[in-house]
Chains A and B, each alone.
Chain A
Amino acid sequence: MKTMALLVVPACLLVLALLVGPMILMFRISLNQFSPTQLMVQAFTPDNYIKAATDPYYQQIIVSTLGIALFCTLLTLVLAFPAAYWLGRIESRWKSLAVIATLFPLLVGNVVRSAGWMALFSRGGLINVTLLKLGIISEPLEIMYTPKAVIIGIIAVVLPYMILTIASVIESIPRDLEDAAANLGASGLRVFWRVILPLSAPGVAAGSILVFVLCMNTYATAVLLGGPKFKMMAPAVYDQFVRGNNWPMGATLAFMLLAVTMAFTVFGSVAFARRYRTA
C-alpha cells in the first residue's frame, strides 16, 4: 500500500508547483494596489474586491457571464438529453461511430470554430444570404456580436461534454427498469420522469457542472462572436492583465470568477444531492 501511494507523488508535485503555487501568488497580487504610473504597488488591501463587487461595470460583467453560463447549461441539458439517451441505448457497431461523431466538434480548436461561425452569422454570411434569397427575411438578421451568437457558439462546444457524460450514466440504467415501469402502467413520458430522469441524475449533475464551468470560463467564443461591446469574465481578466496592465484587478477578477464558479457548483451539487439522495 505504501509503495502504491508513492505513485501519485509526481502528479501531486506537478499540480502543487503549477497550479496551487501560482494561485497563491495570484491571490497575493490581488491584494496589491494599482497605480497608473507605477502599475503594481505592494499593499495588503481588499480594495480591489470591493471595487469589483460594487462597480457597475464589473457587476455587469459578472452578471452577464453568470446569466450566459446558466442559460447555456440549461439549454445544453435540454438539447443533450435526448441525444444522450439514444447514445446510451444503442447497441451494435454504430455506437462507436456515434461517439466519434459526438466528439467531432471538439477536434476543431475554439478559434477556428468561431471563425467558422463568423462566416455563417455575419451580415453577408451564409445564413443571412440564404434566408434573404429564399425571401424569408427582407433585412439581414443581426446575429454576429450579440449574446445570441455567443450562446450558439458556446453550446456547440459544450454539447458533446454533456451528451457523453449523461450517456455513460444512461448506459448503466438497466433496460429492464423501463420495461418494468411500462409493465406497471407507466406511459413513455412517465417512465422518463419517474425512472430515467431520477436514475440519470448523477450524470445530469456531473454534466451540468462540467458545462457550467466551461461556460463561465469561455474566452475565444466570447471575444470572437460577442465583439468588443460584449464582455464576459475570462476576456475581462485578460484585458486587465494585458491591455490595462492592471495585475491586481486582473487577479481579483480571476478570483471572483473562480469564487462564483465554485459557489454555484457547490450549491448546485448539494441541492441536487439532496433532491436525488438515493440515486
Chain B
Amino acid sequence: MSRLSLERLSKRFGTSVAVDELDLTIQQGELVALLGPSGCGKTTTLRMVAGFLPPTSGRVLFDAEDVTRQPAYKRATGMVFQSYALFPHMTAADNVGFGLEMRGLNAAECKARIDEALKLVRLPHLADRLPRQLSGGQQQRVALARALVINPRIFLLDEPLSNLDAKLRSEVRLEIRALQQRLGLTTLMVTHDREEALTMADRLVVMEGGRVRQIGTPQQLYDTPKDAFVADFVGRCNILSGRRESEVQFRTDSGLALPVDSMADECKDADAFALRPERITLLTGGTDGVQGRLKAVTYMGPQTEYVVAVGEETLVVIRQTPGAGEPLAALKPEDTVSLQWDRRAPRLVPQTSA
C-alpha cells in the first residue's frame, strides 16, 4: 500500500473546469471520501488517479513516485466500479483471476490467490458462476475480490453501494470498512451519499464545482462546517440568513432573534445561522425558548420530523419518536410549540465560501 498525493491537480474539458487545483494527501491505510453533488469533479478526480483521464495540470503521486503520465494498466490501482464492471463472459473466479493473469502469474499461484480472495469476500462456493447468475450483492463482492487480489497500491471505490438495496447497503458498508481497516488499504472513495461518507471515511472532502469546500473528519464537518454548503451537504440543517446582533444573539433577515454562543462564528462575516434539526428540543405549548406553530409532523420510524413555523422562518426539528402518553405524541399541526437549544449548538457560517 502506498500514500496517495494529489498536487494542484486540475482537469479542464474545453472551457469548463471539472477539477480546479486539488491538493490532497491520503495516508497509508486511510480511507478518504470525496463527497459532493453530481458534476462537482469527484468522479473526474478518481478517474485521474486510476489513470483513465490525463490531468490538464498537476501531479498524481503514489508514495514519492510520480505516476501522472503512467497509463492506467501500469498503475496497479484496484478499483470497484459503480456498475461493478464484471466481465460477463467470465466466471467469478476468472474475473478475480484476470488481474493475476495480466501479471503473468502461473496457473497454480493464480488458483491459490483466487481461492483466498473469494474466501475473503465469503464467496468460494460461487467461483464457477457467471456474473449474471449472481445477485447484486454477490457481484459487488466479486468486484471487491477482483480489485483486492492484485494487492493494489491504491484502492478506489466509485459509489460502491449505490446499486444495492437499503438493507444490504448498511451491511456491505460495514464489511468494506472492516476489510479496508484490516488490510490497511489506502482508499479513495467517491460518493454523493452523505451517510455512506460519514460512516465509512476517516476523512471527508466536500467538493463543489471542481473545488474543495472543506476537508476534515466526519465529526468536524458535521459539527463545525466551514460554510452553508458543507453544513447542508453533510447532513440536514436549518440554515437561516441574517447577522450576529450581540454576544448571545443572532438576528435573521426576517427579524427573528435566535440565541447563539459567542464562539459560534466560523468566520468574521458569517451571514447564516446553521442548526442541526436533532439539536433542537421541542416543547408543547410553553413560553420558554422560541415560539412557533407546528406545520407538519412526519413519522419516520425511530424518529419523527416536525416542521415548525417561527415568524416568517421555517425550522425542521427531528426528535426520537415519542411513546404513547408522552406530551409530544399528542402534537398536531397548528399547535403552539416552543423550541430550545444549547447555545453552543448553532454555528454561524458564510452563506457561500470565497
Q: Across the two chains, which residue of chain B brings its CB closest to A276?
A: B89
Residues in chain A near residue B78, CB distance under 8 A: 183
Q: Is B340 in contact with chain A by the CB < 8 A criterion?
A: no
Pick from B51, B85, B130, B146: contact of A176, CB under 8 Å: B85
Residues in chain A near residue B309, CB distance under 8 A: none
Within 8 A of A (CB), among B59-101: 71-79, 81, 83, 85-90, 98-99
Q: Is A279 in contact with chain B by the CB < 8 A criterion?
A: yes
Pick from A177, A186, A194: contact of B73, CB under 8 Å: A186
Q: Tell me what chain B mostly uses at the interface: helix, strand, loop, or mixed.
A: loop
Q: Per-residue 0/1 for A173-184: is the Cβ within 8 Å of any B Cβ (1 yes, 0 no)?
A: 010110111111
Q: Across the two chains, which residue of chain A brings its CB closest to B81?
A: A176
- Pair B85/A180 contact, Cβ less than 8 Å: yes
- Pair A183/B87 contact, Cβ less than 8 Å: no
Within the complex, what minimum Cβ distance (angstroms) separates B128 from chain A?
Answer: 12
Within the complex, what minimum Cβ distance (angstroms) separates B98 from chain A?
Answer: 5
Q: Is A92 in contact with chain B by the CB < 8 A criterion?
A: no
- Pair B102/A186 contact, Cβ less than 8 Å: yes
Q: Is A227 in contact with chain B by the CB < 8 A criterion?
A: no
Within 8 A of B (CB), among A255-279: 276, 278-279
Q: Is B167 in contact with chain A by the CB < 8 A criterion?
A: no
Within the complex, what minimum Cβ distance (angstroms) separates A172 from chain B?
Answer: 11
- Pair B102/A179 contact, Cβ less than 8 Å: no
A176, A179, A180, A183 — most chain B CB neighbours (10 Å): A183
A177, A182, A186 — most chain B CB neighbours (10 Å): A182
- Pair A182/B98 contact, Cβ less than 8 Å: no
Q: Across the two chains, which residue of chain B brings its CB closest to A278?
A: B89
- Pair A183/B71 contact, Cβ less than 8 Å: no
Q: Per-residue 0/1 for B179-208: is the Cβ within 8 Å of any A Cβ (1 yes, 0 no)?
A: 000000000000000000000000000000
CA distance A89 to B52 in the complex (A): 16
Q: Using A185-B150, A190-B102 as known contacts, say yes or no to A180 and B87 having CB atoms under 8 A apart.
A: yes
Q: How many residues of A contact B (CB 8 A)?
A: 20
- Pair A185/B99 contact, Cβ less than 8 Å: yes
Residues in chain A near residue B75, CB distance under 8 A: 183
- Pair B102/A180 contact, Cβ less than 8 Å: no
Q: Is A199 in contact with chain B by the CB < 8 A criterion?
A: yes
Residues in chain A near residue B125, CB distance under 8 A: none
Q: Using A176-B83, A184-B102 as known contacts, say yes or no to A199 and B50 having CB atoms under 8 A apart.
A: no
- Pair B71/A182 contact, Cβ less than 8 Å: yes
Residues in chain A near residue B76, CB distance under 8 A: 185
- Pair A187/B89 contact, Cβ less than 8 Å: no
CA distance A190 to B88 in the complex (A): 16
- Pair A199/B89 contact, Cβ less than 8 Å: yes
Q: Using A183-B77, A278-B130 as known contacts, say yes or no to A177 and B150 having CB atoms under 8 A apart.
A: no
Q: Per-residue 0/1 for A137-157: is the Cβ within 8 Å of any B Cβ (1 yes, 0 no)?
A: 000000000000000000000
Q: Using A185-B150, A278-B130 as known contacts, say yes or no to A179 and B72 having CB atoms under 8 A apart.
A: yes
Within 8 A of A (CB), among B270-303: none
CA distance A179 to B158 in the complex (A): 13
Residues in chain A near residue B146, CB distance under 8 A: 184
Q: Is B103 in contact with chain A by the CB < 8 A criterion?
A: yes
Q: Is A198 in contact with chain B by the CB < 8 A criterion?
A: yes
Q: Across the two chains, which residue of chain A brings its CB closest to B130?
A: A278
CA distance A121 to B32 in the complex (A): 66
- Pair A187/B87 contact, Cβ less than 8 Å: no
Q: Using A182-B73, A185-B150 as known contacts, say yes or no to A177 and B103 having CB atoms under 8 A apart.
A: no
Q: Per-residue 0/1 for B123-137: is the Cβ within 8 Å of any A Cβ (1 yes, 0 no)?
A: 000000010000000
CB<8 Å pairs between A and B, sample of 14: A174-B83, A176-B81, A176-B83, A179-B52, A179-B85, A182-B52, A182-B71, A182-B72, A183-B73, A186-B98, A198-B89, A199-B87, A199-B89, A278-B89
List residues of A whose CB falls within 8 A of some B CB.
174, 176-177, 179-187, 190, 194-195, 198-199, 276, 278-279
The 5 closest A-B pairs by CB, nearest first: A184-B99, A185-B102, A176-B85, A180-B85, A182-B72
List residues of B whose CB falls within 8 A of some A CB.
50-52, 71-79, 81, 83, 85-90, 98-99, 102-103, 130, 146-147, 150
